Amino acid sequence: MPGFELFGEKEKSQVQDVLDSGVLMRYGFDGMRNNHWKALELEAALAKRMESKYAQLVSSGTAALTIALASAGIGAGDEVIMPTFTFVASFESILAIGAIPILVDVDDTLTLDPVAVENAITDKTKVVMPVHMCGSMADLSALKAICDKHDLLLLEDACQAIGGSFEGKPLGSYGDLGCFSFDYVKTITCGEGGALITNNEAYKTNADHYSDHGHDHVGNNRGTETHPFLGYNFRISELNAAVGCAQIERLDNFLDIQQKHYGVIRKELETLSNIEFRRVPNGGVENYSFISFFLPSTAIAKKAHTALDEAGVDACFYWFDNNWHYYKKWEHLIQKKSLGKLPQEVLNQLPDYTKADFSKSDAWIGRTISCLIKLSWTDEQVAERAATMKEVLARFA
Cα(326)–Cα(394) distance, integer angstroms: 27
Q: Is 186 a catalytic residue?
A: yes
Question: Where is the domain boundary, 250, 265, 299?
Answer: 250
CATH code for the domain in which residue 215 is found: 3.40.640.10
Residues 28 and 171 in one domain: yes
Domain count, the chain: 2
Cα(218)–Cα(222) distance, integer angstroms: 8
Which strand ranges, in their side-by-side order, compose the sheet holding 316-317?
276-277, 290-294, 368-372, 316-317
Spot the catalytic one: 126, 186, 302, 374.
Answer: 186
Cα(281)–Cα(145) distance, integer angstroms: 15
Q: Is the dihedral of CA 167, 170, 176, 179 positive or negative?
A: positive
Residues 133 and 266 in one domain: no
Question: Using one digit for the tens of pLDDT, what is the confidence trace for 292-348?
Answer: 999 999 999 999 999 999 999 999 999 999 999 999 999 999 999 999 999 999 999
Residues 188 and 218 in one domain: yes
Residues 10 and 134 in one domain: yes
Burial (CB count within 10 angstroms: exposed 0-12, middle 13-18, buried 19+), residue 123 = exposed
Of 32, 36, 52, the closest CA to residue 44 belongs to: 52
Q: Provide the pLDDT for residue 397.
A: 80
Question: Where is the domain boundary, 215, 250, 285?
Answer: 250
Residues 243 and 258 in one domain: no
Between the alpha carbon of residue 123 and those of residues 55, 74, 78, 176, the distances in Å are: 31, 14, 9, 20
Percent of the chain with pLDDT over 90: 98
Cα(347)–Cα(327) distance, integer angstroms: 19
Query: For residue 127, what are the domain limits?
Result: 3-250
Q: Rounded to 5 degrees, what are φ and ψ at 213?
A: 60, 15
By DSSP bridging, strand 169-170 and strand 290-294 are unpaired
Residues 162 and 58 in one domain: yes
Cα(345)–Cα(79) distance, integer angstroms: 10
The residues near 249 (Cβ < 8 Å, ≥ 6 apart) are 10, 45
Of 56, 272, 282, the closest CA to residue 177 belongs to: 56
At how many degrees (to 10) do helices 89-96 and 61-71 cross? Answer: 40
CATH code for the domain in which residue 261 is found: 3.90.1150.10
The residues near 11 (Cβ < 8 Å, ≥ 6 apart) are 242, 243, 246, 247
Residues 111 and 85 in one domain: yes
Residues 9 and 59 in one domain: yes
Residues of the chain with pLDDT below 70 are: none
Question: Where is the domain boundary, 231, 250, 269?
Answer: 250
Query: What spatial distance separates the first Cα and last Cα of the chain, rounded to whole Å?
Result: 30
